[in-house]
Chain A
Amino acid sequence: MSARGETLLWIAQRASAAVLALCVTVHLVTIVYATQGGLSGAEILGRTRGNVAWGAFYVVFVLAAAVHAPIGLRAVLAEWFGWRGRARAFLLIAFAVLLAGLGLRAVAAVFA
Chain B
Amino acid sequence: MSAMLKVQVWRGGADGAFEAFEVPRRESQTVLDVVTHIQRALDPTLAYRYACRVGMCGSCAMTVNGAARWTCRTHVDKVAKDGRLSIAPLRNLPVIRDLVADLREFFDKWARAGGQFRGARTKADDFARVSPQSDARQLADAGIECIGCAVCYASCDVVARLPAYLGPAALNRAWTLVSDERDAGGAERLRAVAGDAGALSCHTHMSCTERCPKNLSPTAGIAGLKRAVARAALAGEL
When A3-B238, A78-B196 are in contact, do A8 and B161 touch as well, CB less than 8 Å? no
Closest to A8 in B: B233
Residues in A whose Cβ lies below 8 Å from that of B162? 78-79
Complex formed: what's the CA distance from A79 to B200 in Å? 13
Residue ID in chain A nearest B196 by CB atoms:
A6
Size of A's binding interface in residues, CB under 8 A: 13
A78–B158 Cα gap in the complex (Å)? 11
Interface size for B (C-beta < 8 A) is 19
Chain B residues with CB under 8 Å of A7's CB are: 194, 200, 229-230, 232-233, 238
Knowing A10-B200, A78-B162 touch, does A3 contact B230 (C-beta < 8 A)? no
What 0/1 readout, one digit per residue, does chain B (177-201) give for beta carbons within 8 Å of chain A?
A: 0000000000000111011101011
Q: Is the beta-carbon distance between B233 and A4 smaller than 8 angstroms?
A: yes
User: If the complex has contacts A4-B194, A6-B200, are A79 and B161 also in contact, measured as CB distance less than 8 A?
Assistant: yes
Residues of A within 8 A of B238 (CB): 3-4, 7
Q: Name B's A-contacting residues (CB within 8 A).
A: 158, 161-162, 190-192, 194-196, 198, 200-201, 226, 229-230, 232-234, 238
12 contacts between A and B (CB under 8 A): A1-B195, A3-B229, A4-B194, A7-B200, A7-B232, A10-B200, A11-B233, A75-B201, A78-B162, A79-B161, A79-B162, A79-B201
